[in-house]
Structure 1
């Protein structure tokens, strides 16, 4: 079994050499993707003389997602069976990669990712606002991706099987920092088994390039598109089950109850007259029934998380 490390590199010339030296012999290939780095990180990697290193240079800076797609393709061409993403900035300990590789090598999963939220020391040191933001983002990604059992969705320490990667359309993956989340959302559509691996957080003096402002500006619309795409394909194209029926009934009921309720409330305020009991029930019943049906569909969705590994999918 050939294991390859993929290292997307941008402004990591000071860290890349130490990262490559820390990559153990279990890795037969190391693909370094120089994402048009102004510090020539790719040349620094090539100068180490490690025969496992293959440098892929991009002509233009495309972002971590674009770099990873190029790296995945290069590793597949080299015959890799398991492909591990290791950032070039030193925030990941290559020695921990064995914990990601194990469930894939033993046929227990298609994709493994790190989870820093199980590191209690890191959680205690994390500012409350950041912890809250990460928790909210994790919940939104659970709903968008369908993987209700995973946390820390932006964790970039991941491993994926060759067959699983080949089932995806790599050219459609997000080219920027939404890459890990987009990959997770698309894995659900091929029914990949995903596992969370508890890994400790590791931070140095390097600044984070993922800003809160960028997340707030770019992620909501992308999460909404991923959520709607998953619902459409999972419950109305690839399959049609009770969750599909519940959704078809719940959405019109909630819309009718909500719109009617606002309309009647405005009329009541303008006229000064209290609405009749019948009018209140006309609003309340569709909302109550719609919420119940929506909760039932969510329960079915949670139970439908892919759990069965399919060899040579």
Structure 2
């Protein structure tokens, strides 16, 4: 927990068997749940995680709010309707299965997509788990190790302490950005960020493509998670949906990280055209 608020980290993975344990082993101690979502990897990402799970028991037991019984009365029809919609929407997400034997008391939750949905779909699956378990603050860290775990607290703090709905790490304002970030990505990111400002209305956001984020429970319950763009345009689409839902947003400075063993799966031209 962080300031008595529950914190979870969604880790979307696709073919990250070489990197994933580095991410999990470096996770800060204040994280209550780590939701590893494997997007139908072709390698043994899931097997690598499961065979390396030791002492995975958490002292914090979490149960799904979908299992809570609501006794009808004249005042709670809205609560019953929200629960019904939360149950019905499960069918709209990418088909998946939870591989844990005791998910209520295990810290690392392993969810495997039964078909490849895309990075946005993997994040949406993790978001859905956190929404249904009433997590106060849900962060996203990639499974390739490109996000510094020491910066996680600064990403989560505005959500935890200031009731900000969505926080994005901003790599472009770091003084090393022009040196560390590949030039093509820097320029492409800058162009997409300008266009996303226009589309979303969030004029104060500079690094729209950053995947290092934290989101509030309020925001998870304010947007249709199953309808988030399923592939690399997810950050742009989510910003539009958050502004429609009147959610507040904040950026914090983070370091750009490359060369930690990650292998890029991004085809700039193939990804940019659908986003545009």
Same fold at TM > 0.5? yes
Q: Equivalences for 1:133-212 in 2 at 5 Å? A: 133-204=188-259, 205-212=261-268
SS in 2 for 1:195: strand
Match of 1:93 in 2: 148
1:1-313 correspondence to structure 2 within 5 Å: 1-47=5-51, 48-49=53-54, 50-51=56-57, 52-126=107-181, 128-204=183-259, 205-220=261-276
Looking at CA atoms only, which structure, 1 or 2, has the larger radius of gyration? 1
Higher helix share: 1
RMSD of aligned alpha carbons: 1.5
CA distance in 1, matches of 2:140, 2:183: 29
User: Residues 251-305 of structure 1, C-alpha deviation per residue, up to 9 Å, x if partnerless?
Assistant: xxxxxxxxxxxxxxxxxxxxxxxxxxxxxxxxxxxxxxxxxxxxxxxxxxxxxxx
Q: Give ranges in structure 2 of 5+ residues lacking alignment.
A: 58-106
Q: CA deviation at 1:125?
A: 4.1
Contact 1:154–1:181 (8 Å) recurs in 2: yes
Alignment coverage as a number of residue pairs:
220
Q: Relative contact order (alpha carbons < 8 A, sep ≥ 6): 1 or 2 greater?
A: 2
CA apart distance, 1:130 = 3.9
> Within 2, Cα distance between the matches of 1:37 and 1:129?
27
Deviation at 1:132, TM superposition (A): 2.8
Q: 1:285 is matched with which residue?
A: none
User: Would you identify which runs of 4 or more consecutive aligned residues in structure 1 move more than 6 Å?
Assistant: none
TM-score by length of structure 1 reads 0.67
TM-score (normalised: structure 2): 0.76
List alignment gaps of at least 5 residues for structure 1. 221-313
